[in-house]
Structure 1
Amino acid sequence: FSVRFLLKPFFALLFITGSLVSYSTLKYKVMFDQTMIQNIIETNPQEAHSYLNGSIIIWFVFTGILPAILLFSIKIQYPEKWYKGIAYRLLSVLASLSLIAGVAALYYQDYASVGRNNSTLNKEIIPANYAYSTFQYVKDTYFTTKVPFQTLGNDAKRVVAHEKPTLMFLVIGETARSQNFSMNGYSRDTNAFTSKSGGVISFKNMHSCGTATAISVPCMFSNMNRTEYDSKKASNSENFLDIVQKTGVSLLWKENDGGCKGVCSRIPTVEIKPSDNPKLCDGKTCHDEVMLENLDDEIAKMPGDKLV
């Protein structure tokens, strides 16, 4: 990227994107791996807007915008002959590789030890981390062989039939740390509301496939466990909801937070937008109470056993 017309735009782009990545890394302690890139691309404007504040704007201006402007103000003298420019670049690359090889030869044990004890270090080096992760995401999403769609549970059936239709609610919330739940032994009373309702069972040996919604939700409904989970397979396969629907159960997916990540793509879905209910929404997000709006009518239209 040391080509005359690409050099400044390329590094200006690195300044700008690197500024946002560095802020997020320091502020939210996140690593920009392929999963995080996927989560960013699949987010919605409301969720993205929630991270906008004065702190990030100041950081972005001083570490991204101003360095990029300064870069364009610097005059670079290029060799008059194109072949001289290529020769200089080749010499620079060879010198850099020689220096790296020399350092590696002299301090290999030290670097090997650091690598073994810090397995995530390659995901923390800016801008290499997000540049590589973005490349991998684009390659895996758009330039790899498409996985054939797989159907599951074609022979599934309900064993017990009830005279009175059954109604079941499955509520999916944000990923949370089990160790910070008072019902799991945490010292602070963090479950004051749910503990009063009685009959709440905490499954303590459960683990999310990830904190990113794009990973955790599809994995939750797939037939894979967290160690073998593959996003591509999950997106090209039926899931738990498809199997339940095959048994004749009426399904309804209702949500107010940015999409089901493909899980509900084959069942009836109601997506509540912030503009739909001014009373319970602020134009950007909605209170969970909005999920109860029209719910009685929606359930009444569902025949037989129901899963909402």
Structure 2
Amino acid sequence: MIHQHLTEFHGLPVHEVGDEVTEPRPLAAEVAWRVAGDDFDDEFEETFAELLETVDCAAVRALVVGTWGWAHDDRRADVPIGLLIEAAPRFPALEAIFLGDYVSEESEISWIGQSDVTPLLTAYPRLKRLDVRGGDGLAFQAVDHAALETLRFETGGLPADVVRAVGASTLPALRHLELWLGTENYSGDSGPDDWAPILAGRGLPALRHLGLQDSERQDDVATAVATAPIVARLESLDLSMGTLSDAGAEALLTGQPLTHLKRLNLRHHYLSAEMSKRVLDALADVEVDLSDEQDFSEHNWRYIEVSE
């Protein structure tokens, strides 16, 4: 569960639009501006208008979009995207957008109603970072974008269509890709055929960090990664948050070498102590995170870290 709103984004402290407690008022480029309405009331438009009226938008570098109303109201899913697209000429310096800064008290992650986020990349051709939280109704289209360096989807279930669209995109500047694949119960229905274009890496020549995380099929992910062409040029690999067991770890150890990595994140796993030791011994010069060990007994159900 996610219990705290962002306090930092894109290397900047987050400042709430309308929050006058902080004195003196920060300069527009010094903070990530958070725009949010009420959990259940349609106040987002008013707060966004306040941002446009009171902040030097031409200098804004990062925006955090929080609650835009009741998360389950599909009629509201397009509201923040529509306003951001309409206002794009007002934000020539915008580098980063976080869409969906809801915490669990406002909405569980898999209940956050999203829509097609691709138009944000079309409207902001100089955008360097896009983070999206929530997978209900989420859509993404294959896109060519020359500037994007970081793309993250935080979901309890990432639709296969979205995964395939990422793999079909041409993102020459992308260095960080993070996908929370989730569970099929919440539309996380992707599999090896859907991951394959990403793992081939043809449209991602600059990628240095890959996260395929939070999957109920984490062993299958590890098996696919073990022979993936893209791994040879990665600096860090994240297979955390899922149901990784000894079978998946064995695939990693018997696949292509991983000793070139600086970091391998396997946190929240179902590995036995013996397998954990084998991984650490085989990757002695790699920073390996094996924290948050779960009960790996065959008789216990395995859970991903973030689902509902």
Larger relative strand fraction: 2
Name the TM-score, length of structure 2 as normaliser.
Answer: 0.23
Structure with bigger gyration radius: 1
